[in-house]
Amino acid sequence: MIIFLLFVLSKGGIMELPQPVQIGEVSVEECIAKRRSVRAYSSKPLTLKELSQLLWAAQGITDPKGLRTAPSAGATYPLEIRAVTREGIFHYIPEGHKLIKEQSGDLRPKLARAASGQSFIKEVPCNFVISCVYERTTMRYKERGIRYVHIEAGHVAENIHLQAVALGLGSVPVGAFWDSEVKELLNLPKNEEPIYIIPVGHPK
């Protein structure tokens, strides 16, 4: 269970995730047809294997050269992914497919308040927060790089939504939140900005 495994991981601790499956039992066409926005979730937690698969779908490395599951302008990879669960906040590191625990404790209620009080955010077992470092892309593409970063966030989000369907889970895209509050809650670096929240869990 994800609850126990991530609870015992101390702040700053590193956990290698289970290897993701790359040949599934559900077709991409079926996932596209079944995908819906889900806002009511059971309390059943995600397994570590499910969490691993979702993170891999979002930003996993799929090539020896470091290329990832979602396309990125110039392979600049400006996005960062964090999982906000009952046990704390966990930062995904694509290199080595692992998690670093950044904070302990259940911060989902605070995340929900920062997202205009959307209650399902505090009830879902896992919220994926996508943030970005614009400079990674704008250094190469100048101001237009901002557009490329936002496009990439859409690619990553769609991967998460479709992977959730393949795992029998539900998800919903959330863009309504107070950027400064989410940034402070996650203790993001000065040059990193939150741009997307995706709750994922078992539909009621």
Q: What is the pLDDT of residues 33-49, one digit of tens each?
A: 999 999 999 999 999 99
Instruction: Determine the Cα–Cα distance for residues 143 and 179; give it in Å rounded to an integer.
Output: 20
Q: Are 130 and 153 in contact (CB under 8 A)?
A: yes
Within 8 A by CB and 6+ apart from 34, the residues are 165
Number of Cβ within 10 Å of residue 11's Cβ equals 12
In this structure, the strands spanning 88-93 and 14-16 are unpaired
Question: What is the per-residue pLDDT across 142-184, written as a single tens digit (0 to 9) for each?
Answer: 999 999 999 999 999 999 999 999 999 999 999 999 999 999 9
Q: Say what the pTM is.
A: 0.94
- Which residue segments constitute the domains of the chain, with CATH numbers given? 41-201 (3.40.109.10)
Instruction: Determine the Cα–Cα distance for residues 149 and 2; give it in Å rounded to an integer.
Output: 31
Q: Which of 2-16, 111-125, 131-145 has the lowest mean pLDDT?
A: 2-16
Mean pLDDT score across all residues of the chain = 95
Nearest alpha carbon to residue 141 among 90, 73, 199, 94? 73
